[in-house]
Structure 1
């Protein structure tokens, strides 16, 4: 196997490039790679003597390939050949290939045992993939003839054939006595040589693209079969499916009260006290800030690798690579040197803001989200430059810097933040914007994280003691008693919760002997596993379960996820809601056209009148699981009887098993008003109070300006629920699966209205059951009847 030498002006750049290239192949298959870079760890430059030593280290009878960056690196390498033994120099070749791309291609090709000339050729093609993608390729030579053995595959891994899976393809293709070609049938690119990493990159094969594999030669059939098997495995690069992935960490306390130091994640780094020096001072400060950030990120990466996993730790490798990007550094130092009164913070901020802006312009949603990583790096460097401690500075909640026992303060709470926050270190989340029914709020409560919304613009210094009682709508900063009163409330409610947990598995039987079924809303297998005491699931949110998938899950993949949820509930009934998208619930694999008012546009069942094949696949999966375990299916966003008839016809065509119960969601006032017609022939209806509330009160639940109106205890909403309970045909069960069912006091009102089942967020199930056991249904009915006559939601809450 040939050896490889990397010559660069920067030690950090060379080490990073070698690290990247080495990841492409297994350790035992890597060629020897020697580095001659920098005059020392931090000083830029090249040294011919160091290059000569590196050539001797990498020397092999098969030859040595030298890759270089620019300028004096070429001169140093040429001079180095005069220092080494002439026999060694005779088997060395210098390459003009791009350093990073060429090195990756060279390492992958060399790992297959290819000759020096073959590796040199492949390295020289290093830019082909990028040029092809950007439209400035000159690549007629990349096209090869197809063979006579064929197979078609679909690229299923999330980020397509990027470098690592492409390297897998090359390794497999070159292991057979065959000439293998790949064609991207989706884009028309190719055919290209499957044994060339650079040529595979020109295919620009993304998730969901179809590829044709063809081969000729003695082992053509075997090569095609092996590559087909590799594709079936996601090119050995498949992320864990969203249905079972990202098991959010341990849940929170499950309370509605919290107290602790503020982790403020809604403020920019304060640069007002920074005093710039002259150019030399600012250049040195820029380097020092960069090194401090590198040290922090390295520590975070290593700790994350030990405590969480290598995949999560790789986030920090990407951030380290950004800090080491020569172009970013060049922009920073050029701005300091050439700009007027340009300080180190200003230069770093401008350079990284420009990178973030570039990411935000990309078409790929995954790549657009990388702008958040860039801003995280930016703020880390800025904090270092102004002397702020990362642990107490208001660092973003997901960068590993939050204080133990802190309360996270954010402007708005999105679902991703709510899912990713470390619930063992963050005791609560305070949101400036109003609104309790957004998906971030729902996810946080599902994880049992105490949450209060609508705290407004109150000043919250980072690290200040803060506390809240969401039940009393109270938020305090630096309480005079040091937080003792709120800590007492925490202890009191924790005691109530613990008592409820003791009897969590017992049924919710009211004082007058009526049993109310209490189920859990789930969006992941982990939610199902965490739902203590639930009588099953009253709502499986399939759009959350598969929300991160960029291609539609197959029937088999959906069956696997549904089985896992059913197993987590121990065979208790689960209610699967079919795809519910639109409004504020997008699906990556089903992009929708922009709508002027998406909440009044194509949502829920309406979308799938146009795309019935996606609904049919889901119904097939549901039918398979229903043949094995108790399952109910319900269709969302129903408005008309014709929609119900269409959905039932689609299901009937699949010959569902006899035990499968069928229902609809009641989320639209029109559905509540005509429930007798819509529910005819159904087994159940489930009221989604989140949407029913926003449509009844004409208040967008995600708009903080009007979210206070979107209160599920508004008497108008309760009157519609009452109408549904009274209006369904005999034998049709009525459930509530909206957020209102997670409020213990509201649960009593719903039971008093005659609701048969309540489906709450998992952490609230034991508390809901405990409250119902203390309830007499006759008294609850009297309370509910009075609530229907009150003038406002606040009046209902006062009564409760």
Structure 2
């Protein structure tokens, strides 16, 4: 196996790059990687003598590949060749490959026993995946034959075939005497050489994509079987389950006021005095930190997995080995620990995926936990005031006294950080993304997350009035949640809950059932299609959580914009206008038939309604009813999500029991504005009079009961207007159910001027009327 040398001006950069590349292959298969970087641990520069020593460490009869960053690194490497034995120098190859990408490709390729020429070529192609993704000129993948035999696999990984699973695939493929290729059937890219990390990267295969694996050669069958097994194991990645969270302890409000408590400052190492046995000090700190994390894991019901992840970061054998090596050189324990974990955090921050980038917060949380133990600093979570932090780690969020702390203001933006998730799940008022606003310690601050505002020295009386108002509203609404939603003029509205996971039903307060069970979310993490029995079990669990009240199950609502791992689809130029909802299953009805069987079985035990999404024509309704067969105990409906369905609802609803308006898509299609596109999202307002006119048309012409299950039903003011228009069922997100019911009970619908709302100039004027 060849050896590899990394020459860089920065020790931290080189160590981080080596750490990233080493993660791609198993420890027992890694090539020797020697580093010659920096004039010392903190001073930038390169040293020819250090490079020559690194060449001696990495020397191999198979050759040595040298990767460099820039400028004098090249000169130092060339000079180093004059210092070493000519025989060693003859085996050395300097490459212009990009340092990070080339190193990853080189390490993965070298681990398979490839020649120096092959490793150098692969390193030189290191930028190919990035260039192809960004459309840079000059990326040309060499054409390869597709192979004599083939099979199809599906990428189940949440973040696609990214570097680590791609590296595992390359390692498996190169273990066989076979030429293996990959073609992404969803994008049409390929075939590419599956034994080349850079070529696999050019596919940019995402979750749900179908890959055709082709193979030829003496061990083609064995290679295909191995790739199929690897894909079935999610290419070695653990399946990510989305944690269900529950309100516990805090007020659950989105507004707070209190004195600023600043925390999260960098741990100072100035007072630390190194001793004779820095390794022993570090071992003790790590053991103590591990005990603390285990306690947090075992006492934090909903978020134990977060602290398991922290434990894994804390006890990572590779990181600990690097730190031990640094300690041998005379570096103190805190400095060695900080350098290593800073480098790892930097690596995470450079990743493409936003969720993975935010995992750098977890790395820094583990870093600081050990640093505080090493320097003897304790950081007690505040019991009152508003905690202002650069970023919120999960441990702090889990140990805050949720009944006393006023709230948390996080300077960093982002809502997927583990600390933010934990704090919100505990009902702690929180705002993220306040930026670099200057906040003096002890100064009174306030925020209103609903309005997106953060103030220093606010009008305290006004803020406290807002808090009192919202707290009173919530308390009254929750206390009366089980009461029916009967308006002052005697109209009885059913307020139901939208369910994506079973926990949504468990936590729902006062819901009259579920007006929307999102089956594509309920089974969205499954890599294989759930069986009929597995679906029945999930539906039963939801019904039990809602005490046997009716549940409305929406059949698979998938499309090019939201694929299921077990239902891959062709890539479409405009997926919102493509094969979505019922359109998908007219071509592939088998999964729908299994789901309808599960729904019928559930309906034999508990009240169930079924509805079909993205219906446009009467022919689609007729086909769906034919697939359903005997209704037995089922009530049947459709989603009204496109203007065409709204305008011809009388025809569509002729043989139905109900229709449910999906205001999210109806708004999007009516206003021609993608609600996920920040540039046009303001146009996609559910209170736009054009959308309201379509809703009114549906109510007046459907001839059956009309429900709303889109976001508009979760807004108490909008819910009142919908009820005034004649909607009789509103399905909202769980926390809003009590508030929607309370708003309806306080309203006389006969006093709502619906004509003015329908004739309004725009959504802003509608809000003014409300």
TM-score (norm 2): 0.61
Q: Deviation of residue 201 (structure 1)?
A: 4.7
CA–CA distance in structure 1, aligned partners of residues 694 and 249 of structure 2? 30
Deviations 1:85-135 (A, max 9, x none): 788x489533426243442233223434x26xx145323332236458456
SS in structure 2 of the partner of residue 519 of structure 1: strand
Q: Deviation of residue 672 (structure 1)?
A: 7.1
CA–CA distance in structure 1, aligned partners of residues 89 and 257 of structure 2? 69
Match of 2:468 among 458, 483, 488: 488
SS in structure 2 of the partner of residue 231 of structure 1: helix
Instruction: Say if 1:746 and 1:166 are closer, same or farther in 2 by CA, change over 3 A.
Output: closer
Which 10-residue stretch deviates more, 96-105 or 19-28?
Answer: 96-105
CA–CA distance in structure 2, aligned partners of residues 254 and 644 of structure 1? 48
1:652 corresponds to:
626
Q: Deviation of residue 171 (structure 1)?
A: 1.8
Instruction: Say if 1:67 and 1:465 are closer, same or farther in 2 by CA, change over 3 A.
Output: closer
Contact 1:619 1:651 in 2 (8 A): no
Instruction: Say if 1:84 and 1:235 are closer, same or farther in 2 by CA, change over 3 A.
Output: same
Q: Deviation of residue 4 (structure 1)?
A: 3.1
Q: Deviation of residue 670 (structure 1)?
A: 8.4
Match of 1:784 among 725, 737, 749: 749
1:759 corresponds to:
731
Deviations 1:722-767 (A, max 9, x none): 646xx73xxx554343456446688788779986643222113345
SS in structure 2 of the partner of residue 680 of structure 1: coil
Instruction: Say if 1:84 and 1:214 are closer, same or farther in 2 by CA, change over 3 A.
Output: same
SS in structure 1 of the partner of residue 106 of structure 2: helix
2:138 corresponds to:
136
Contact 1:166 1:201 in 2 (8 A): yes
Instruction: Say if 1:203 and 1:489 are closer, same or farther in 2 by CA, change over 3 A.
Output: closer
2:458 pairs with 1:478: yes
Gaps of 5+ in 2: 261-292, 297-302, 314-348, 362-385, 432-436, 564-568, 759-763
SS in structure 1 of the partner of residue 92 of structure 2: strand
Contact 2:424 2:430 in 1 (8 A): no
2:220 pairs with 1:216: no
CA–CA distance in structure 1, aligned partners of residues 765 and 204 of structure 2? 60
2:381 corresponds to:
none
CA–CA distance in structure 2, aligned partners of residues 569 and 35 of structure 1? 60
1:122-521 alignment to 2 at 5 Å? 122-128=119-125, 130-131=127-128, 133=132, 136=138, 143=144, 150-157=150-157, 161-176=161-176, 178-184=177-183, 186=185, 194-198=194-198, 200-201=200-201, 208=209, 210-217=211-218, 219-237=219-237, 240=240, 244-245=241-242, 258-260=255-257, 307=306, 405=406, 422=420, 465-466=445-446, 478-481=458-461, 483-500=463-480, 504=482, 517-521=494-498
Instruction: Say if 1:2 and 1:535 are closer, same or farther in 2 by CA, change over 3 A.
Output: farther
2:551 corresponds to:
574
CA–CA distance in structure 2, aligned partners of residues 536 and 189 of structure 1? 46
CA–CA distance in structure 2, aligned partners of residues 634 and 84 of structure 1? 75
1:17-32 alignment to 2 at 5 Å? 17-32=17-32
Contact 1:131 1:137 in 2 (8 A): yes
Gaps of 5+ in 1: 264-301, 315-355, 360-365, 377-390, 428-446, 453-459, 595-601
CA–CA distance in structure 2, aligned partners of residues 105 and 215 of structure 1? 24
2:627 pairs with 1:629: no
Contact 2:110 2:119 in 1 (8 A): no
CA–CA distance in structure 2, aligned partners of residues 193 and 708 of structure 1? 48
Contact 2:502 2:541 in 1 (8 A): no
Q: Deviation of residue 787 (structure 1)?
A: 3.7
Instruction: Say if 1:717 and 1:72 are closer, same or farther in 2 by CA, change over 3 A.
Output: closer
Deviations 1:284-318 (A, max 9, x none): xxxxxxxxxxxxxxxxxx9999957859999xxxx
TM-score (norm 1): 0.59
1:96 corresponds to:
95
1:44 corresponds to:
44
Contact 2:396 2:419 in 1 (8 A): no
CA–CA distance in structure 2, aligned partners of residues 461 and 28 of structure 1? 50
SS in structure 2 of the partner of residue 481 of structure 1: helix
2:659 pairs with 1:685: yes
Contact 1:148 1:214 in 2 (8 A): yes
Contact 1:128 1:201 in 2 (8 A): no
Instruction: Say if 1:558 and 1:212 are closer, same or farther in 2 by CA, change over 3 A.
Output: farther
2:11 pairs with 1:14: no
Instruction: Say if 1:615 and 1:575 are closer, same or farther in 2 by CA, change over 3 A.
Output: farther
Instruction: Say if 1:210 and 1:749 are closer, same or farther in 2 by CA, change over 3 A.
Output: closer
Instruction: Say if 1:704 and 1:229 are closer, same or farther in 2 by CA, change over 3 A.
Output: closer
Q: Deviation of residue 539 (structure 1)?
A: 1.7
Q: Deviation of residue 214 (structure 1)?
A: 1.0
CA–CA distance in structure 1, aligned partners of residues 450 and 66 of structure 2? 64
Q: CA RMSD in A?
A: 6.3
CA–CA distance in structure 1, aligned partners of residues 583 and 355 of structure 2? 33
CA–CA distance in structure 1, aligned partners of residues 212 and 644 of structure 2? 47
